[in-house]
A and B are shown apart, each in its own frame.
Chain A
């Protein structure tokens, strides 16, 4: 082939390939601009409702509520977009993008899902929780920079007390008691906070290849390990049990099993959900936990399963994730 012909061939095929790329970008852009469902005033205060983040195409990322008892029915949608959302006692937390790529923000929400304050976050939002009083917000973000353990992940978990202004920038700053002994290591990571009250919480701590359930005390600035292989704890409304994901055979590579830990006996009960659930579960009521299950790259559904290991999982809210029971 002559140089001229090769150049012509290269140019025309390049045009075709770039054309295909541009066409895909345009189509993808329009997909995101699908006619949005009308936003309405959404009551996120205490009541018989479940708050969630929608993953339906026309309302992707929008926060809404459904009535308890008819979760698959009519949904009320706000105009608010979040990656992760949670609310309790009339206060909400919304983790959402802030500018391009790796910058995010924490938005503090009132009972009407209006943003009352924002704080910058560096890292990808992963978990969000609010204390039962509505005063303390906790978040977990994923940070890619810390490659001290051979390019593996790193998380930052922090808390903000809206009532007092007190903050814990990173749980890594608290002193650690592991198996009764003071412990220090460079590879400690925390994620998945769940609150007892404004001062006390549970969370996951990982170090030296193991993941622990820790109980923390903000006033004492300390955390202590309680059990091994407990991730993303979620405390039951009566504060006696913890729902969590247990890594199969201790290895997250093999997937997880939703499990409930009784805090007085430390007995573990695997739940009837046998799919691997990679989410921080939330309590629907004292007897039921709910959690997101992925169905594709963007779609997700919220499922519910009895907390005592019986029964079968049921689809609770289609096209939704990040559920929070607004309850009391």
Chain B
């Protein structure tokens, strides 16, 4: 048994209290937000009697603007050295929007404003939260820390729709009760953040270290540039859950009622694999695990494009898809963290997240166009080719990052 010493200590090291606290905040917040996501279409269409066209308009408000907010939130958090405060504003904004949705009544502009503010809150809080995780965890066990955080986060997302169902059943189908409960739950999340998460403020850095030129200079560091390029490239090959499930549904002729269950299958796999994959990333290196995750995504596309059918295909696709999330979402942040200087870490993480989010927006639009042009199967085959290319180039880019980013491997 000649295991490397670092690997062994990793497995016994306890996850930092701040990570557990942030995990708890994410868990509670995701219960709250997924409760609302689960019933929002029903509320708008069946409850308020809006026509589908108006629902489409409101739903389409998920824009690049909130992606850019991650970068803004990251920079402000670094600048003021107040990552917890910025994260808290993000969580708080989303919490109050649950009540605002109720107050908006049938006014489409107010409903839209509340939904946009909710998503802005999510954009604002993500980078500071991930920066707090990296700053409170020794770099050799970051994979595990992110794995634990993401598993807790997904557990919340999993429970949300079930809580919404319970509230609807207990209140005689009152949608307003779902919003009120969701708002109260979100406030508990903010409370846990305020009371139990510790900001990592450290000594005040010289005035020039956190400035716009310094932030721009991040891009002059070769590993960061390579990582950002790889993240954007990989982001270009992701097409979004809706498309994956839709293709699966078409291929298998599943009744639309099964749709939510597909997401449940993915979450369960994600939930189960997040911690093991985080540990694996700490042992064998984060870049190989991230690349492995995107290879799983490529396998999903190939399976969907192959025309194979049957229940086994559904299970394999959902397993690979959940595995892709578990191997990439948190692990990429664990890979990025140690590359970034502590005083600009939030900005750097925000930069990578924004790059990925914008790439994803582009790829969704492209996939929509490809779907119109070649139908679903043609579009997914084209995506598989694109994903194979981006994966190859990203693997080359990440080779140069590995030596710096991974203490082991």
Contact across chains for A154 and B174 when beta carbons are under 8 A apart: no
Where chain B touches its partner, the secondary structure class is: helix
User: Is A101 in contact with chain B by the CB < 8 A criterion?
Assistant: yes
User: Is B240 in contact with chain A by the CB < 8 A criterion?
Assistant: yes
* B230-266 interface code vs A (CB 8 A; 1 in, 0 out): 0000000000101101100100000111011000000
Contact across chains for A126 and B42 when beta carbons are under 8 A apart: no
Segment of A12-20, A233-241, A258-266 engaged in the interface with chain B: A12-20
Interface size on B, residues (CB 8 A): 62
Contact partners of B191 in chain A: CB under 8 A: 10, 13-14, 17
- Assembled-state Cα–Cα distance A166/B184 (Å): 50
Segment of B163-171, B331-339, B395-403 engaged in the interface with chain A: B163-171
Contact partners of A187 in chain B: CB under 8 A: 372
A6 in contact with B170 given A25-B177, A153-B55 (CB within 8 Å):
no
User: Is B41 in contact with chain A by the CB < 8 A criterion?
Assistant: yes
- Assembled-state Cα–Cα distance A147/B242 (Å): 6
Contact across chains for A101 and B59 when beta carbons are under 8 A apart: no
Contact partners of A297 in chain B: CB under 8 A: 47-48, 105-106, 175-176
User: Is B310 in contact with chain A by the CB < 8 A criterion?
Assistant: no
Contact across chains for B51 and A29 when beta carbons are under 8 A apart: no
User: Is B404 in contact with chain A by the CB < 8 A criterion?
Assistant: no
- Assembled-state Cα–Cα distance A26/B172 (Å): 10
Q: Which of B287-335 contact A (CB under 8 A)?
A: none
Contact partners of B177 in chain A: CB under 8 A: 24-25, 28-29
* A208-236 interface code vs B (CB 8 A; 1 in, 0 out): 00010000000000000000000110000
Determine the residue in chain B with the shortest Cβ distance to A101: B165
Contact across chains for A122 and B171 when beta carbons are under 8 A apart: no
User: Is A143 in contact with chain B by the CB < 8 A criterion?
Assistant: yes
Contact partners of A97 in chain B: CB under 8 A: 173
User: Is B6 in contact with chain A by the CB < 8 A criterion?
Assistant: no
Contact partners of B368 in chain A: CB under 8 A: 148-150
A29 in contact with B196 given A17-B187, A152-B59 (CB within 8 Å):
no
Contact partners of A279 in chain B: CB under 8 A: 49
Q: Which of B26-77 contact A (CB under 8 A)?
A: 38-39, 41-42, 45-57, 59-60, 62
Question: What is the CB-to-nearest-CB distance from B116 to chain A, in angstroms, rounded to a whole number?
Answer: 14
Of B41, B49, B255, B376, the contact of A300 (CB 8 Å cutoff): B49
- Assembled-state Cα–Cα distance A125/B45 (Å): 8
- Assembled-state Cα–Cα distance A298/B172 (Å): 14
User: Is A165 in contact with chain B by the CB < 8 A criterion?
Assistant: no
Question: What is the CB-to-nearest-CB distance from A179 to chain B, in angstroms, rounded to a whole number?
Answer: 18
Question: What is the CB-to-nearest-CB distance from A165 to chain B, in angstroms, rounded to a whole number?
Answer: 21
Contact across chains for A21 and B180 when beta carbons are under 8 A apart: yes
Question: What is the CB-to-nearest-CB distance from A244 to chain B, in angstroms, rounded to a whole number?
Answer: 12
Determine the residue in chain B with the shortest Cβ distance to A100: B165
Q: Which of A185-199 contact B (CB under 8 A)?
A: 185-187, 189, 191
Q: A147-B242, A148-B376, A253-B57 are in contact. List 20 more A-B contacts (CB 8 A).
A: A6-B195, A13-B188, A13-B191, A20-B184, A26-B170, A26-B171, A29-B170, A33-B172, A97-B173, A101-B165, A101-B260, A122-B255, A126-B45, A145-B242, A151-B59, A155-B52, A278-B49, A278-B50, A278-B54, A300-B49
A sample of 29 cross-chain residue pairs with beta-carbon separation below 8 angstroms, ordered by A number, consists of A10-B191, A10-B196, A24-B177, A25-B180, A29-B171, A31-B174, A33-B172, A100-B165, A100-B169, A101-B165, A101-B168, A124-B46, A146-B246, A147-B240, A147-B243, A148-B242, A148-B243, A148-B368, A148-B371, A150-B365, A151-B60, A153-B52, A186-B376, A211-B53, A294-B49, A294-B106, A297-B175, A298-B47, A300-B49
